[in-house]
Structure 1
């Protein structure tokens, strides 16, 4: 997206190019978040299936992992 903005600034790209780059970036970020969530949900399902915790413990595990993954200071 930075490249698209720079090309636009130099007159080498249109606003459509910048909008397309922005849309593509946001789509990829959403897909990444969905994949990360799927991995964490699978970890919880595995922990539950292998007896490493009950439902509430598995939920706590998932919340902890998601919090650590998405909330970074």
Structure 2
């Protein structure tokens, strides 16, 4: 009897991990990944139609350095 309970507990454990993973993936799809940054320059990007200006961004690293 105790062996069956242990096996049931072990079988439920991956279900818990799968549920947590599903919640995290749903939140990422809904909210996206956010990172704070600053526009530091305008970059000229050349293509077949001419050129366009794109913002050059700087992001903070884990250590807090830009």
TM-score relative to the length of structure 1:
0.41
- Pair member with larger Rg: 2
TM-score relative to the length of structure 2:
0.45
Q: Write 1 or 2 for the structure with the bigger share of strand.
A: 2
